[in-house]
Amino acid sequence: MSLLSLALFAQLAAPVATLPVLSFPERGLDDSAAYQGYQTRFYRDAAGNTVQVYLDSRADRVVHLWADADDESFGFTARGVEGRAAALQWNGAGATVWRAGRTRTLEHALMARDSQIDIGWFLLGSMRVERDLLYANRQKTPFADAPYTLPEMDRLLAAVASLEPAERRVQLTLLHAISVEELRARLRPVVTAHTMSGMSVVRVAQVALDGADTLALEIRSNARQVTTVVAGDSVTLRARSGGSIPFTVRIITSGSPLTPLRRGQIFNQSFLAFLDASRSQRSPVSAEATLRARRLERQVRGLELLSSHEKLMAGLPTYATYFGRDMLMTALMMRPVWRTDMSEFVIASALRKLSPTGQVSHEEALGGQAVREAASEYAALVADAALHARGGNRGAADSATARARDVLLHLRRVRENYHMIDAEFQFPIVAARWLTDVTVSAARKRAFLLDRTDSGGPRIDRLLRELALVARVTAPYAAHPVASNFISFAPRDSGRWASQSWRDSNVGYAGGRYAMDVNAIWAPHALESVGRILDALRTIGFPADSLVRAHPEFGVDTPMGRYLREPSLLQHATATWQGAARAFLVRLTAAEVRARTSARLAAMPEEQRQHWTGVRAATHADDDSLTFLALSLDGDGYPIDVANSDPATRLFLGEEESARIAPDARTRAAVLRDVQLFARPYPVGLLVPGVGPAVANDAYASPSIWRDFDRDRYHGPRVIWGRENNLFLIGTMARIADASTAALRDPDVASYVRTLRDAMDHVRAAVDASGFHSELWSYDVRDGRVVPVRYGSGSDVQLWSTTDLVVQFELYRLAK
């Protein structure tokens, strides 16, 4: 933890030493070999904002993320002799931070175990651009190559240059520039060097496109120990003697800070008491208990690093922005440990960013990424203006020009992305659980809904707009339940379907059109929640007739209007959607399981094939039939036979209270079908021993899908997601607790509970053995065994992965 409390950070002016809040890998908690040359530290700056520094020898990259209101990054490539990655390590326990006016600074020390290092590919700006640089692998190319440029910025420059001189001057003025050449110069960092008080200082400065802010990075070394040479945009540091080079890195921003939240503002008293108890156990304390307490503290600190009064960030380092899905999922899972006002915060955040048609924002673009998206919009508007002018439509041309000016005037406006669809269905569930929370007074709920702070109108208007969207998109299937009326992904230009739910990689849904998680899980629960919300609104003073009068758009011909007037229609729609899972069922005999897994094993590399063939034989996992819910349906409505972890969400969300407390045979069978898939060993089920449940198993799908998942592993059989494990464990524990009383008098329920507990224990043991409790991780097969490894682009601190705190809390309560 920092040497200063967060309350004092904002007052800092003089440099102050601070220790890391978190470090990965951490001795005793992590296997350093699993991190494969990656190491990272997290600090608090002088405003209490999160700063992450990571050294990634695999990517030859040193990156600093400033997780403030602009999501800024400062990165460079460091190479040693013969062009290999420089051997870098931390050179000191902490960092130094200070603040002067708008400017915040952080400085830390590194040591290169080389006699010479070359540093280049400086990139200062948005973390999104840093991510794109790595995706393109440009950081591995020679420093003398052409600069890394963004096509959006190139189009903006071309658009400005195409304007008539008088209009060009007007628009350049909006960017505080006098020429296109000045704008072009702002797109590249300026590298200078000087010596001061015996220190060689290389300064890399990046001015924002509008000239309003500057990011700077400095590399400082003792001139008596290190020779510094600047050549173009790169730097060479050479030891005057010996085989190591000590240097410091200083990063400077004038961007806007966030206002951090502390744990007492996030967690409820029950959880904080549990956390305190984990740290203050009486002696002798077992090594396992000590380890658990350290992990709990690390996850609490991680959540604090992501939390501010302005937003909950999705993950560090790559996703230090608002993500609707991540926030809503976390809010659902964290209810047992969060203060109730955190749910209000989440609901207000989603409503504030709602689209005019009721869509929930998936992601915000801010800082450099907002400028990047604005540049693309601006270039399109200038092209439209020119097209209309050539066609003689002066009015349309002037309108497009005015809109182009407005884009430049508000270049940094936060932009919202609405291309995902799952958050639309998650939001009503979050809202319903808060509105039906008996610990929150009716007066407080009513005041919250009537509040106009965020949007100029009362929040209830936006809430109803979102519910109307859910009612509208689910209406076709409710009226005629056939696969073609399921909620579809959007078509891509390639002829395939966009992945618009949480498995958002290109092959996340195996090319399917209708996602199981959206149609069989989220949509039915969302509709049920719409009904609960409308009931709750009536009890706190918003009867249906008043809502109809206040919202004429809920006419008699709209689904929402019909549901407000006749609640039985909504109940019927909900019941219809609750049967949607049947369309996704895949049933395989034992012979089919054996044949399909054999085919998949035959397509694996030799070492993997031998290992998994041995696992299948040793566990007899293929001796029984298998039933699971397919990942998705294809364009014709047929299941794509990929077993997957999405049923964990079904387990978590649960059924009606009566079905949970006294589950009948049908309910038990459906729950056990989903649970046993998690505990059944791969390559038949999902469980990778010593690692955790794979997010998908493609053994039952076609060879083309195998190849897709081999190329893009992000949501495939080689990856384990912390979110899915936590959903499974929380959901399974809830089923065990709910059915415990019935199990005392019904032997069938008792057997059901024992099976749930065995499955939970198997999954917990595998995840704990991996050593990872993060966003996602992977594994290699080496020397005949499975070895857990860090996934390359995974977040070190991820919002919904901190829900492991709920797992630990519920395990504690279940044990009591």
Question: What's the pLDDT tens digit per position in 215-252?
Answer: 999 999 999 999 999 999 999 999 999 899 999 999 99
Mean pLDDT in residue range 729-733: 97
The owner of tokens 């507990």 is: 757
Strand blocks (E) in 68-164: 72-79, 88-100, 103-112, 116-126
Confidence of residue 2 (pLDDT cuts 50, 70, 90): very low
Q: Which pLDDT value is given to residue 814?
A: 86
User: pLDDT by residue (tens digit) across 412-461?
Assistant: 999 999 999 999 999 999 999 999 999 999 999 999 999 998 767 899 99
Residue 71 — left, alpha, or beta (φ > 0 → left; ψ -120 to 50 → alpha)? left
User: pLDDT by residue (tens digit) across 604-650?
Assistant: 999 999 999 999 999 999 999 999 999 999 999 999 999 999 999 99
Q: Which pLDDT value is given to residue 286?
A: 84
Confidence of residue 280 (pLDDT cuts 50, 70, 90): confident
5 pLDDT more than 50: no
Mean pLDDT in residue range 25-29: 92
Residue 340 or residue 656, greater confidence: 340
Q: Which pLDDT value is given to residue 282?
A: 65
Q: Which pLDDT value is given to residue 659?
A: 65
pTM for the structure as a whole: 0.94
Q: Which pLDDT value is given to residue 6?
A: 40
Helix (H, G, I), strand (E, B) or coil at 472: helix
The amino acid occupying position 242 is G
Helix (H, G, I), strand (E, B) or coil at 80: coil
d(Cα 275, Cα 258) in Å, to the nearest integer? 26
User: pLDDT by residue (tens digit) across 457-476?
Assistant: 899 999 999 999 999 999 99
| Residue-by-residue DSSP string for 645-681 | STHHHHHHH---HHHHHS--HHHHHHHHHHHHHHHSB
801 pLDDT more than 70: yes
User: pLDDT by residue (tens digit) across 106-139?
Assistant: 999 999 999 999 999 999 999 999 999 999 999 9
Confidence of residue 717 (pLDDT cuts 50, 70, 90): very high
User: pLDDT by residue (tens digit) across 509-568?
Assistant: 999 999 999 999 999 999 999 999 999 999 999 988 888 888 877 877 899 999 999 999
Q: Which pLDDT value is given to residue 283?
A: 64
Q: Which two tokens stand for residue 349?
A: 């955040």
Sequence-distant (≥ 6) Cβ neighbours of residue 353 within 8 angstroms:
322, 324, 360, 361, 364, 416
The owner of tokens 């991780």 is: 777
d(Cα 220, Cα 78) in Å, to the nearest integer? 15
For 205, phi and psi rounded to 5 degrees? -120, 135
Sequence-distant (≥ 6) Cβ neighbours of residue 158 within 8 angstroms:
379
Q: Which pLDDT value is given to residue 455?
A: 67
Q: Which pLDDT value is given to residue 8?
A: 45
Q: Which pLDDT value is given to residue 658?
A: 57
Q: Which pLDDT value is given to residue 3?
A: 35
Helix (H, G, I), strand (E, B) or coil at 581: helix
**Hey, how many other C-beta atoms are within 10 angstroms of the C-beta on 242?**
8
User: pLDDT by residue (tens digit) across 328-340?
Assistant: 999 999 999 999 9
User: pLDDT by residue (tens digit) across 366-423?
Assistant: 999 999 999 999 999 999 999 999 999 999 999 999 999 999 999 999 999 999 999 9
Residue among 231, 243, 235, 232 nearest 218 (CA): 235
Q: Provide the percentage of residues in the chain whose pLDDT is more than 70.
A: 97
196 pLDDT more than 80: yes
Helix (H, G, I), strand (E, B) or coil at 202: strand
d(Cα 709, Cα 458) in Å, to the nearest integer? 46
CB 763 within 8 A of CB 678: yes
Residue 33 or residue 660, greater confidence: 33
Q: What is the mean pLDDT of the chain?
A: 94
**Which helix (DSSP H) or strand (DSSP E) does residue 767 occupy?**
helix 747-770
For 388, phi and psi rounded to 5 degrees? -65, -35
Q: How far is CA 161 from the centre of its chain?
A: 38
Residue 66 or residue 552, greater confidence: 66
Confidence of residue 14 (pLDDT cuts 50, 70, 90): confident
Query: What's the start-to-end Cα distance of the chain, in Å?
Result: 31
